[in-house]
Amino acid sequence: MRSLLALLIMTLALAALCCCEKDPKDPSGSPGADSIKITKEVANAFVKRQKRSTLYERYFEYYKSPMEQMHERCENYPPCDYLSDQIGFSMAYNRFFGRY
């Protein structure tokens, strides 16, 4: 295990030395602002706009169902969360918060 770790550290050190070494005669070492710019077509291939959603979908993005609210309430209370792993969510919720 130690030999594998030593080999990994040596490989990373050599890779860092090779990547960080600069040639003072090579002017292409530092990229200019023009080399960073890309065209709109290339940028649009990576960035996709989100489609418009209906009113129904927007409603459910902002408002959670009552069952989901109960799950979050139980998850935020550690004894209920622990007990829900042991006996199930509905029984744990009933024990700590009453009937749903």
Supply the DSSP symbol for 24: T
- What is the reported pLDDT for 34? 62
Q: Give start and end residues of each alpha helix (H) in 21-76.
A: 33-36, 40-46, 55-62, 66-76
How many CB atoms sit inside 10 A of residue 84's CB? Answer: 20
The full set of domain ranges for the chain reads 64-97
30 vs 86: CA distance, rounded Å: 59
Which phi and psi (to 5°) does residue 39 adopt?
-80, 165
- Give the residue carrying structure tokens 């993005």: 61
Per-residue pLDDT of the chain (100 residues; tens, 9 = 90+): 777 778 778 887 877 767 665 555 555 555 566 667 777 777 777 776 666 767 777 777 778 888 989 999 999 999 999 999 999 999 999 999 987 6
